[in-house]
Amino acid sequence: MNSGDTAWVLISSALVLLMTPGLAFFYGGMVRRKNVLSVLMQCFIIMCVLSLQWVLIGYSLSFHPGNGFWGGLQWLGLNGVGLEPYADYAGTIPHQAFMIFQAMFAIITPALIIGAFAERMKFSAFLIFTLLWATFVYDPLCHWVWGMGGWLRNLGAMDFAGGTVVHINAGIAALVTAIVLGRRGNLEKNVPTPHNMPFVVLGTGLLWFGWFGFNAGSALAANGLAVNAFVVTNTAAAAAGLSWALIEWIRNGKPTIFGVCSGAVAGLVAITPAAGFVGVVAAIIIGLLVSVICFIAVTVIKPLFGYDDSLDAFGVHCVGGIWGALATGLFASKLVNPAGADGLFFGNPKQFLTQLLAVAVTIVYTAVVTFVIYKLVDIFVGVRVDEKSEAIGLDLTQHRERAYTILE
């Protein structure tokens, strides 16, 4: 066991946990002020519920070496998950250190979906939906890609820190819930705008900060691979934030802080699956292009199809995640990570096809199971708040609290 590696993974775990409160501020600043506490509440209750789900059942389903599709129940309640290293996942840190690091990914992934149904879902339905989604969507997909014996892992799909497992997964779930839940009331006449841009900026800063644990921590050691992941993460975010600002400047005449924040998050999303496999030049290309792709998704495609993805969870996380996963298949190099594989641009077209398959499988599985879970929850408890509650705001109607003394 290596104390330096253990310290780095524990620090990274804390950094990734901080991303969920960061996401709460990022999303909370974007909604109307009458709904800000509901978003904060949803993010924080996920930290409670998923922390318990993970240690009781989620970690076993995701990471116990089982068959190709699920890990099984042998590690329920962390039975057999001790303080000694587990060689199949991280041979230099305690098994529980690896477990708690992965717990933070399990927490933030369903939190990302909140951006699609913000301002219109019952809190009771949200709790049930989140618990079921984590168990039947996140945990199996996590095993497929990262777990020993997982069938996508065995095929050679590369996802260093969560492009498919986290971002495409949550983004597709976001799109499904946005479509089946329906648009917010009076949306055409009263177009919502972010009520607190400083919250958005604060949330972006916390996300960027925590993302170093997200990506560099996924090296599971304090080594050169962690350094590479750290450097390319920062580089891609910077390139994407600048790119989005330039697009706005050219298209609208003025760059905005909201655009820079959106671009930076898109860059962080896109570099996530590639962080341990690509170098700096590739990271710049990935970051520059993801803003173009996501900008089109949120300003052209969303209005064209008319779905109400409230805070662009699909447009940024899924679309950015798809680009990142495919870019991994283009730019990956064994010079960066000998344990990985070369991508298309380094003479290995098979890797790109494998990445494409992993993306397609994630989209189909997540879309179908998310739809089924949504319908079941809707049948038993009803998912959407009534029109009056939506008009008043979820802070008061769902939690009997208000963030400010004057409501808009």
How many other CB atoms are found less than 10 A from the CB of residue 403?
17
Residue 379: pLDDT above 90? Answer: yes
Query: Mean pLDDT, to the nearest integer, of 279-292?
Result: 98
Residue 152: pLDDT above 90? Answer: yes
| Rounded-to-integer distance, Cα 26 and Cα 202, Å | 7
- Contact indicator for 51, 103 with CB cutoff of 8 Å: yes
Query: Mean pLDDT, to the nearest integer, of 245-254?
Result: 97
| Rounded-to-integer distance, Cα 146 and Cα 352, Å | 18
Question: What integer pLDDT is reported at residue 258 of this predicted model?
Answer: 98
Question: What integer pLDDT is reported at residue 66 of this predicted model?
Answer: 85
Question: What integer pLDDT is reported at residue 406 of this predicted model?
Answer: 63
| Averaged pLDDT of the chain | 97
One-letter amino acid identity for 328?
T
Q: Domain for residue 404, yes or no? A: no
94, β-bridge pairs: 85
Instruction: State the DSSP H helix or E strand holding residue 86, giving kind and residue range, or none if neither.
Output: strand 85-86
Confidence category of residue 190, pLDDT binned at 50, 70, 90? confident
Q: Domain for residue 203, yes or no? A: yes
Q: How far is CA 238 from CA 24, 183, 267, 346, in A?
A: 22, 33, 8, 25
Question: What's the number of domains the chain is made of?
Answer: 1
Mode of pairing for the β-strands spanning 90-94 and 85-86:
antiparallel
Residue 207: pLDDT above 90? Answer: yes
Question: What integer pLDDT is reported at residue 227 of this predicted model?
Answer: 98
Instruction: Specify the CATH number for the domain of residue 18.
Output: 1.10.3430.10
Residue 237: pLDDT above 60? Answer: yes
85, β-bridge pairs: 94
Q: What is the DSSP string of 32-60?
A: -GGGHHHHHHHHHHHHHHHHHHIIIIIHH
Q: What is the DSSP string of 229-242?
A: HHHHHHHHHHHHHH
pLDDT digits 0-9 by tens, 108-137: 999 999 999 999 999 999 999 999 999 999
- Contact indicator for 25, 199 with CB cutoff of 8 Å: yes
Question: What integer pLDDT is reported at residue 192 of this predicted model?
Answer: 84
Query: Mean pLDDT, to the nearest integer, of 19-26?
Result: 98
User: Which pTM does this prediction carry?
Assistant: 0.97
Burial of 171 (0-12, 13-18, 19+ CB in 10 A): buried
Question: What integer pLDDT is reported at residue 186 of this predicted model?
Answer: 79
Q: Domain for residue 173, yes or no? A: yes
Query: Mean pLDDT, to the nearest integer, of 226-241?
Result: 98
Structural domain span for residue 67: 3-399
Confidence category of residue 231, pLDDT binned at 50, 70, 90? very high
